[in-house]
């Protein structure tokens, strides 16, 4: 885990790409108890105006957060995590799925060894999370 003294405003975290496929959505349905049909039934997702099945917002958020927790090595160091969902992550029924690309950087250093990390998450170049920020405590 990086230390508070090692990081500066502007320190970037390693960019990561995550693949989300239909099977991931089904597993998340079971784990979360959220079986809303827009996350697994293409016909019904399209009937309500979506382009296809979409990933759960909380799955997208948690997946993006892995950039920070992987960097920290300790998810228990996360104190706060907030996002706004900009657009849904459409997950096609193919062998590729959707690729979530996440970048992150330290935006502020606070007292008590806390830092604010801003995250930028995109799929196919379009932002899917806005205002994504995580506050973590470093040693």
How confident is the model over 99-139, as pLDDT tens digits?
A: 999 999 999 999 999 999 999 999 999 999 999 999 999 99
> Number of C-alpha atoms within 13 angstroms, CB side, residue 35?
2
DSSP 93: S
Tell me what pLDDT residue 23 has: 96
Domains of the chain (ranges plus CATH)? 12-20+61-137 (3.10.129.10)
Tell me what pLDDT residue 48 has: 97
* CA–CA distance, 25 with 4 (Å, rounded to integer): 36
Burial grade of 120 (CB within 10 A; 0-12, 13-18, 19 or more): middle
Helix, strand, coil fractions of the chain, as percent rounded to 5: 30, 40, 35
């Amino acid at each position: 885990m990086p230390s508070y003294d090692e990081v500066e405003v502007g320190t970037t975290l390693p960019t990561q790409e995550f693949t989300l496929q239909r099977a991931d959505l089904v597993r998340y349905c079971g784990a979360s108890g959220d079986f809303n049909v827009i996350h697994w039934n293409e016909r019904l997702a399209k009937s309500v105006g979506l382009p296809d099945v979409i990933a759960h917002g909380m799955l997208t958020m948690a997946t993006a957060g892995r950039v920070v927790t992987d960097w920290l090595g300790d998810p228990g160091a996360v104190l706060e995590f907030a996002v706004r969902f900009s657009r849904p992550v459409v997950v096609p029924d193919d062998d590729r799925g959707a690729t979530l690309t996440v970048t992150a950087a330290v935006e502020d250093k606070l007292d008590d060894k806390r830092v604010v990390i801003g995250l930028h998450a995109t799929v196919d170049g379009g932002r899917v999370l806005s205002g994504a920020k995580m506050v973590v405590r470093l040693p």
